[in-house]
Structure 1
Amino acid sequence: MKKLLPISIAGSLPKPSWLAQPETLWSPWKLHDEELVEGKQDALRLALQDQQHAGIDIISDGEQTRQHFVTTFIEHLSGVDFENRKTVKIRDRYDASVPTVVDAVARKKPVFVNDARFLRQQTQQPIKWALPGPMTMIDTLYDNHYKSREKLAWEFAKILNQEAKELEAAGVDIIQFDEPAFNVFFDEVNDWGIAALEQAIDGLKCQTAVHICYGYGIKANTDWKKTLGAEWRQYEAIFPKLQSSNIDMISLECHNSRVPMDLIELIRGKKVMVGSIDVATNAIETPEEIANTLRKALKFVDADKLYPCTNCGMAPLSRSVATAKLKALYAGTEILRRELSA
């Protein structure tokens, strides 16, 4: 029997301190060569165990084998020069030193497929794997070759499609594309961003998802959120087109955000991963707070399509905080499961 309200996480979990510096984005690895390969696999097993102990239903890799949710994928592509760096404004919010596209981009070999295969061997539970979306990839680079955001996005979409098909063959049940850029570049999202995403999922038989959040709990993002006013209506600009797209699931930031819940009505019919854990605070949500967020969402999404989730990745948090938040997510979901069963 299919489980009611299956729980998952949006993306990253904190890495063990022996693998990388905790609570840090882009933290360098502490191990090298064979030790690093083994260390990453140990971290994958730990992430799996932490999720199982917390009661998570759809298992993620917690992004244990990558330094960053976008750049680690790009590092494996040809045509991008990581030595030749430029400073760009990422998502119109903060400056970052990024690699440069110097030639046609191509994927010479699989990026995460072996990691996914390893995770698949460890569990019978459904597994979800996240990839960066085409628009978020182009927003994390300086393009000195295509000179067109749209052209580069289409090239990345084809590359992502190759990787996604191999991830599916390795036993991944849900492939999620992370597109925080969808919350910023609305005209481009509607003009070609969603179309590029559909190119990335072309031919897949597994479930597909797009994760659109307001970012990690880092200062640049929390400062930006303060400028967004009493209501965050960004989703409204892109939901109608997403609702008619081929994407199966949409992952959103809902808890402690100012997103009006009724916007979810615009994607009626889609499965919705409702972000019920705030990743920008160390405060542990109470089960009742989480149940309340889910109850509000239930007015606009059918129970069989609601997937409790975290708002975003938890890499910048401590492991103890992240684990406690996962347990709270389970406890809050259980309250609602009991209500719905009754």
Structure 2
Amino acid sequence: MNKLFPTSTVGSLPKPSWLAETEKLWPAWKLEGEALIEAKQDALRVTLQEQIQAGIDIVSDGEQTRQHFVTTFTENLDGVDFEKRQTMRIRNRYDAQVPTIAGAVSRKKSVFVEDAKFLRQLTDRPIKWTLPGPMTMIDTLFDGHYKDRATLAMVLAEILNDEAKELAKAGVDIIQFDEPAFNVFIDEVDEWGVPALNRAVEGLTCESAVHICYGYGIKANTDWKKTLGSEWRHYEKTFPSIQKSNIDIISLEYQNSNVPMELMELIRGKKVMVGAIDVATQTIETPEEVANTLRKALQFVDADKLYPCTNCGMAPLPRHVARDKLKALHDGAAILRNELSN
């Protein structure tokens, strides 16, 4: 984009109450069949309009057509058995019943391409589309087949690459891989996390991004954050290899976190989506608070590479809170844009 400080969200936005349960990470749909398909498309229209009204520059689907940012992708893959579930620790934080990999994993058809085409017809703004990253997918699957995380990562990366290429062809401008697991399995990021990401973006004709945060604003995550001490330096160990990767944009958490801002220096040269909106609170940031965060980031990120963003997805928040936070993000970026243009 030519515009300085283009704003965007990480990905998910709250679902309307007529489509699904509200303020939940795994919400149950309220409709089925053709009625559900139509309602999802209506929700896409609404969430796009809300982003445009808030002044968001790079829009997304708000993940309106998927139940969860990982499982909606994995349930469309062959070799993943959702009937046969195992209890597994997710990101070393909480237990969940996860599906089992029972055989070779493959993608029978594109998962999100029709949704992306639909969104593309509705707007001429740049579109960002999110996909789960290989490491984060592995963290929500019980592997009863490959029994080797690095091998499975490359299998998933190839599948994601096929999906990403089709999304780019459908008119998506940025494809973002969500990798919150990068802040947990730090040693494995260098070993196979980044190599898998490189495979996922191979031959991609649009821009690519990776989002690495400390999780949604749910209790399991906020409790975990309280154990991390006064400085969260996870990025320090993973940024050097990510900086050398083929990923174009790095999306990170900063607002109201204990991440030292200077760690952004480690990814100098990359575009950076700086989290300037806290998704773990319903308190609305003031535009000046957002601008202040972005001003600090400018010490470590070149102005033409700074993309104001949210810390994480906003699916668990009430809709009115998400709307107000998006407006604050836009207004804060505008303050800084005006300062630099005068």
* TM bracket, shorter-chain basis: over 0.9
The alpha-carbon deviation at position 4 of structure 1 amounts to 0.7
Shift of 1:46: 0.5
CA shift for structure 1 position 72? 0.5
State the Cα deviation string for residues 118-154 of structure 1 (Å, max 9, x = none). Answer: 0000000000000000000000010000011111111
2:11 corresponds to: 11
- SS in structure 1 of the partner of residue 96 of structure 2: strand
Moved over 2 A (4+): none
* Paired residues, number: 342
Amino acid in the other structure paired with 2:325: K
Q: Which residue of 2 aligns with 1:186?
A: 186
In the alignment, which residue of structure 2 is the partner of 1:222?
222
| Partner residue, 1:71 | 71
Q: What is the match of residue 50 of structure 2?
A: 50
2-side partners of 1:245 and 1:198: how far apart? 6
Which whole-Å CA distance do the structure 2 matches of 1:333 and 1:226 have between them?
29
Q: Could you tell me how far apart the structure 2 residues matched to 1:205 and 1:303 are?
A: 24
Match of 1:336 in 2: 336
Matched letter for residue 90 of structure 1: I
Q: How many angstroms apart in 1 are the aligned matches of 2:314 and 2:140? A: 20
In the TM superposition, what is the alpha-carbon distance from 1:79 to its structure 2 partner?
0.3
1:126 is the counterpart of 2:105 = no
- Paired with 2:320 and 2:186, the residues of 1 have a C-alpha distance of 37
Partner amino acid, structure 1, of 2:269: G
By how many angstroms is 1:35 displaced? 0.6
**Secondary structure of residue in 2 paired with 1:223:** helix
Q: Superposition pairs for residues 233-252 of structure 1, below 5 Å?
A: 233-252=233-252
Residue 25 of structure 1 deviates from its aligned partner by 1.1
For structure 2, list consecutive stretches of 5 or more residues without a partner in the other structure: none
Which amino acid in 1 is paired with 2:185? F
Question: Paired residue for 1:96?
Answer: 96
Map 1:1-342 to 2 at 5 A. Answer: 2-342=2-342
SS of the equivalent of 1:59 reads: coil
SS state at 1:172 partner: coil
How far did residue 215 of structure 1 move?
0.2
CA offsets, 1:55-84, max 9 Å, x none?
Answer: 000011000000000010000000011010
1:48, 1:109 → 2: CA distance? 26
Q: TM-score, normalised by structure 1?
A: 0.99
Counterpart code for 1:16: P
2:105 & 2:2 partners in 1: Cα distance?
41
In structure 2, C-alpha distance between the alignment counterparts of 1:275 and 1:98, rounded to whole Å? 29
Query: How far is the alpha carbon of 1:187 from its aligned partner?
Result: 1.0
CA–CA distance in structure 2, aligned partners of residues 236 and 183 of structure 1: 10
SS at match of 1:60: coil
Q: For residue 264 of structure 2, what is the amino acid of its counterpart?
A: I
How far, CA to CA, are the matches of 1:130 and 1:178 in structure 2?
7
> Percent identity between the aligned chains?
73
* Partner AA of 1:153 in structure 2: A
Amino acid paired to 1:13 = L
Once residues 205 and 235 of structure 1 are traced to their aligned partners in structure 2, the CA distance between those partners, rounded to angstroms, is 27
CA distance in 2, matches of 1:272, 1:258: 18
